[in-house]
Amino acid sequence: MSRLNYHHLYYFWQVAKQGNLTQAAQNLHISQSALSSQIKQLEQSLNVQLFERKGRRLLLTEEGYHALNYADDIFHNGEELEKLLTSGKGLAGSTIRIGMLSTISRNFIEQFIQPLIKQSDCRYVLQSMSQTGLLEALNELQIDVALTNTPLHDNSKPYWQSRVLARQAVAIIGPPGLDLNEVFDERYRGQRWVLPYGENPLRAAFNSFSAQYHLQPEIVAESDDMAMLRLLTRDTGALAVMPEVVVKDELDNGTLKRYMLLPDVYESFYSVTVKRKVVHPKLDSLLRPLL
């Protein structure tokens, strides 16, 4: 009975992920020739060709693609098992690790962790990072869940699980006392604006709204960080575009006011996890839609 050599499979997995034999050899701290030999031994033992070379590139064959999918599961589960067995205590008592997009609303984060705040025996860690950093941390089992307002577009990772936690209307918000209606009219044209910056769904929605109503906004500030937009909206006297949750405290105490909702414009907040054999028991209470 033949037995799969998992050492060779690991080397294949690294090369397949890198797509480059030289880079993978450097990362694994072995020679390129030794790495190539290990992969050839794996191919011979399985009697398949896993790669085909085109110029300097290594491309997966159909068999190689299937092998990569299985190797992803095998080594992902192995990393999970190692972390669980070396933690020294049961999973229920372990820290729950939450990654959050660095630009996401902190008020939304506070809503999300309310079930944890109410538990005296619960310890949790919040880590702020980029979208790429969140997905890398999930893959490496450094966090239990990622929170983002950016939908996933990469379908190459079948073990990512994304769900919508909240979907909130986007409002035009500004200082109280402005003579503005709840529907768009000419009085909005003379206002100054604080807007989301860059390739942001909210900015794209506002640009579309502006084009529809021939609004040419006077933009005084832009930011891709919701916490910064909150401060700018509070301190500049300009109008801003954001979900109300971002400035909940200011709306509650009257520092800011909602003037109108952008029609059919919403911001969605997502949780992203990975398929795991063992899931932190407190995760279920968190991953319920926030209505």
Among 71-85, 197-211, 239-253, whose mean pLDDT is lowest?
71-85
Q: pLDDT for 183-192, tens place per residue?
A: 888 999 989 9
Looking at residue 258, its pLDDT comes to 95
Tokens of 2: 């033949």
Please check whether residues 251 and 108 belong to one and the same domain: no
Tell me what the mean pLDDT of segment 282-291 comes to: 70
Looking at residue 84, its pLDDT comes to 67
CB atoms within 10 A of CB 43: 19
Is residue 217, in this structure, part of any structural domain at all?
A: yes
Please check whether residues 134 and 276 belong to one and the same domain: yes
CA separation for the pair 74, 70 (Å, rounded)? 6
CA separation for the pair 97, 181 (Å, rounded)? 44
Please check whether residues 43 and 76 belong to one and the same domain: yes
Q: Give the CA dihedral 146, 151, 153, 154, nearest 10 degrees.
A: 10
CB atoms within 10 A of CB 265: 18
Is residue 95, in this structure, part of any structural domain at all?
A: yes
Is residue 221, in this structure, part of any structural domain at all?
A: yes
pLDDT: which is higher, 156 or 55: 55
Percent of the chain with pLDDT over 90: 32
Q: At residue 122, does pLDDT exceed 80?
A: no
Is residue 141, in this structure, part of any structural domain at all?
A: yes
CA 144, distance to chain mean position in Å, is: 12
**Which among 20, 54, 85 is the end of a domain?**
85
Label residue 1 by pLDDT band (50, 70, 90).
Answer: very low
Tell me what the pLDDT averaged over the chain comes to: 85
Q: Give the type of residue at 9.
A: L
Q: Report whether 210 contacts 172 (CB < 8 A).
A: no
Is residue 291, in this structure, part of any structural domain at all?
A: no
Write down the residue that tokens 């209470």 correspond to.
Answer: 285
Q: Report whether 77 contacts 83 (CB < 8 A).
A: no
Host H or E run for residue 146: strand 145-148
Tell me what the mean pLDDT of segment 146-167 comes to: 79
Nearest residue to 20 (alpha-carbon basis) of 8, 36, 42: 36
Q: Which domain holds residue 99?
A: 91-165+270-286
Tell me what the mean pLDDT of segment 227-232 comes to: 89
Looking at residue 139, its pLDDT comes to 82
Tell me what the mean pLDDT of segment 247-270 comes to: 91
Looking at residue 126, its pLDDT comes to 92
Is residue 39, in this structure, part of any structural domain at all?
A: yes
CA separation for the pair 242, 233 (Å, rounded)? 10
CB atoms within 10 A of CB 105: 26
The neighbouring-strand residues paired with 267 are 168
